Structure 1
Amino acid sequence: MIGRKLHRLALVAERAVDRLRGPRNRRRVIDPYAGYATPEHLVVRGRVLTGLRRNQPEADQSAWINFRQMVSLFLTSEVAGVEVKARGVTTLSDEEGYFTLLLPRGEESGWVEVTVDITGHEATATCPVLIAHPDAAYGVISDIDDTMLRTGAYSLPRNLWTSLTGNALTREVFEDAPPFMAALSDGERNPVYYVSSSPWNLHHFLRRIFAAAGLVEGPKFLRDFGLGETQFITGTHGDHKGASIDVILAANPALSFILVGDTGQHDAIVYRDAVARHSGRIRAVVLREPGQGPGPEDLAAMQEISLRVPLLHGRTFDGFARVLRAAPAAD
């Protein structure tokens, strides 16, 4: 009951702010997201906005400037009900501006680029889509915060400070993360997907961090922090991550997967449940142990995981790739 009342109040407040802004700017732009492929479709994703904020950070700029630039990434003005099209397929943006186009899949593999247009506007964008190679040995699903990127998500004050006062040039990727993911992807033969509780507003920001660090690129499954008639902010961290894992496995029915995460936000519990739901599909689980390491709940979940699939865990991923590539495929 309280949740529904808060939802309604927040929705009323958001609409009041929209009215104060006045008529929507007629300008329309597409914020492109990296998509993925199913056996039948290319899943092309993005968001329709009235403008894009693309900061140009410098490595030595102040924390205050970083803070202002980070906050600006969340000051988006989304546009609902806009028709977008690609390769003869059309759809409408939803109430938060998001759209998904399902295009027929051909014989391509690897990264392909899809041009998306807005009907009636001179707005176009290139949306990359990852199609798993037919000779892939397995896939990889990885968390981002405190797995690839040092964040301190296990501590709310540390998480907020790190997230809001850094920029794409100063955020720290763990030194062992790029070579570890490169080894698992095997020259991008094996597809890599990232699942995170970060909002979609940070999609471009995260891509810049990955590119600067040399991290293997992959489609990202982030969270919608918007408000709608049927949604109050978003689901829980675990619900989002578990549902995203289900989507990725369904999109790649012929592949087993390695799950990579950390013990800072209870990935062990999420991955334990995924192992149980997808018997025979999870090849191994890898967990980084940031901060003070796993708590009692995580340790219990890790014990359950180890009874069903190989589990590797520690402060770093050093040496893990060699072990994983030698491991047998999931039963």
Structure 2
Amino acid sequence: MIKNFIHGVALRAETIVDSVRGQRDPRRIIEPYIGYATPDNLVVRGRVLAALRRNKPLPTQSAWINFRQMFSLFLTDEVAGVEVSAESVSAVSDEEGYFTLLLDRSTAQGWVDIEVAIVGREGKTLCPVLIASPDAEYAVISDIDDTMLETGAYSLVRNLWTSMTGNATTRQIFPDAVTFMNEMSQDGQNPVYYVSSSPWNLHHFLERIFDRAKLVKGPKFLRDLGISDTQFITGTHGDHKGGSIDAILAANPDLTYVLVGDTGQHDAFVYRDAIERHPGRIRAVVLREPGPGPDAKSLQAMQAIEAAGVTLLHGPNFEGFAHQLRQEELSQAAE
């Protein structure tokens, strides 16, 4: 009862704020997200905002300035009901400003840029799309926090402190993660996708960190933290990751996958369940063990992964894991 009341109040408040800030602002800007390809379509994604919030952080600035800049990323002026188009296909932005365009899949491979326009306005925005190579051996789905990016997500206090008091020049990607993902992608032959419970507001922020660290680029499946008619905070951590994994597997039905995560946010549970839903599609699970490492329940989930016949590699870092996976493949092929 109390949760429903709070949800109702929050939804009405958000509606009022959005109508004042976003809908009444005459400006319209597309924030591009990285799209991906399915057997039939190019999935072009983005968000319509009244303004883009782009900070210019310095490595030496204070934690307070970092906090203010990070907080500003959540003050989005999203605009609903805006028609966008690309290649004669159109869509309308939803209540949080998000849109998805489904274009006919072409014969192109690798990275392509799709020109997206706001109907009735000048200018176009390039939205990148990754089309998996037909020569791919497999695909990789990876978590971000404490898997690629040092966060401390296994501790709520540490997670909040790190996330809100760092900036794009100070946040660190694990060096072993860069090496591991480069080896797994094989110079872009194998597509890489990222799934995280971080909000879409951080898409550009994460892109800057990834680019600075030279981490393999890939479509991101982030989480909508907005308030909908039916949910207070849309989706749960497990539901979001599980649903995203399902969508990515459906996008490449002929590929098997390596799932990469950590033991700090119950990735073992999510990946165990994905193996059960998609028998034969998961070739390996790789888990980083941050902080105190896996708890008893995570260890049970990891045991279930191995019992399903899926290769499991885990440890405090990913050093040597790509080589181990390759050797195991060669061994299995020789049997």
* Paired position in structure 1 for 2:317: 316
C-alpha distance in structure 2 between counterparts of 1:315 and 1:244, whole Å: 26
Instruction: Give the C-alpha shift of residue 22 in structure 1.
Output: 8.9
In the alignment, what sits opposite 2:114? 114
Displacement of 1:227 in angstroms is 1.5
- 1:102 is aligned to 102
Q: Residue 228 of structure 1: SS of its match in structure 2?
A: coil
Q: Compared with structure 1, are the counterparts of its residues 50 and 21 closer, same or farther at alpha carbon in structure 2 (3 Å cutoff)? A: closer
Kept after mapping to 2: 8 A contact 1:171/1:209: yes
**Cα drift, residue 15 of structure 1:** 2.4
Residue 227 of structure 1 aligns to a residue whose secondary structure is: coil
Q: Any gaps of 5 or more consecutive residues in structure 2?
A: none
What CA deviation, in whole Å up to 9, does each residue of 1:45-83 have, x standing for no partner? 000000001111111111111111101111111111100
8 Å Cα contact 1:29/1:123 also seen in 2: no
After superposing on structure 2, the runs of 4+ consecutive aligned residues of structure 1 that deviate more than 6 Å are: none
Instruction: Write the distance in 1 (CA, Å) between the matches of 2:37 and 2:57.
Output: 33
1:314 partner amino acid: G
Partner of 1:242: 242
- Which whole-Å deviations, capped at 9, do the CAs of 1:113-150 have from their partners, x for residues lacking one? 00100011224211000000000000000000000001
Counterpart check, 1:28 vs 2:28: yes
CA contact (8 A) 1:110 1:132 kept: yes
Instruction: Tell me the matched-pair count.
Output: 331
Q: Does the alignment pair 1:199 with 2:199?
A: yes
Q: Aligned-pair distance for 1:21?
A: 4.7
Do the aligned partners of 1:184 and 1:325 also contact (CA within 8 Å) in 2? Answer: no
Corresponding residue for 2:126?
126
Rounded Cα–Cα distance in structure 1 between residues aligned with 2:301 and 2:118? 47
Measure the CA separation in 2 of the matches of 1:55 and 1:262: 29
Task: Find the counterpart in structure 1 of residue 154 from structure 2.
Answer: 154
Q: CA deviation at 1:17?
A: 2.9
Consecutive unaligned residues in structure 1, runs of 5 or more: none
Q: Does 1:273 align with 2:273?
A: yes
| Cα pair 2:78 2:97 within 8 Å, conserved | yes
Structure 1 residues 318 and 22: alpha-carbon distance in aligned structure 2, compared to 1, 3 A threshold: closer
**Distance in 1 between residues matched to 2:292 and 2:93, nearest whole Å:** 43
Say which SS state the counterpart of residue 167 (structure 1) adopts.
Answer: coil
TM-score normalised by length of structure 1: 0.97
Instruction: Give me the TM-score of the superposition, normalised by structure 2.
Output: 0.96
Q: How many Å separate the matches in 2 of 1:254 and 1:22?
A: 42
Q: What does residue 58 of structure 2 align with?
A: 58
Residues 257-268 of structure 1: pairs in structure 2 closer than 5 A: 257-268=257-268
Spell out, residue by residue over 1:236-285, the C-alpha distance to the aligned partner (whole angstroms, 9 max, x if none): 10110000000000000000000000000000000000111110000100
On the 8 A contact 1:30/1:123 being kept in 2, the answer is no
- Provide the residue aligned with 2:187 in structure 1: 187
